[in-house]
Amino acid sequence: MQLVLIFATLLAPIVAAIVQVVKTTVPLRNNILPILSLVIGLGVGSVAFPFTDMDLVLRLWAGAFAGLGGTGLYELVAKREGTSK
């Protein structure tokens, strides 16, 4: 499990960057972004086989963690203006 978390930590900024690129190029609703981030995280985790000797299931778990964490990472540093509802 420790290896999965380390790998997810490495993938999270990559996934967040890809989601940001997709978000700026394709008009999407904001409520779809976490699902998109999860799917991109799963994709990046699955194609990362040259960089690790982990099994596919573990890479998918790491990609899922990175996708969900990448969304949280962006929300943490995003500049918010105004007040909440």
Residue 85 lies in a domain: no
Query: Distance between CA 27 and CA 49 in Å, rounded?
Result: 31
Query: Distance between CA 41 and CA 85 in Å, rounded?
Result: 30
pLDDT of residue 84: 43
Residue 53 lies in a domain: yes
The string of pLDDT tens digits covering residues 25-81 is 988 887 788 888 999 999 999 998 888 888 999 999 999 999 988 777 666 666 555
pLDDT of residue 85: 47
Residue 23 lies in a domain: yes
Q: How many domains does the chain have?
A: 1
Rounded mean pLDDT, 11-35: 87
At 10, list the tokens.
């490495």
Which candidate, 60, 80, 67, 63, places its Cα nearest to that of 19? 67
Residue 84 lies in a domain: no
Residue 69 structural domain? 2-75
Query: Distance between CA 20 and CA 17 in Å, rounded?
Result: 5
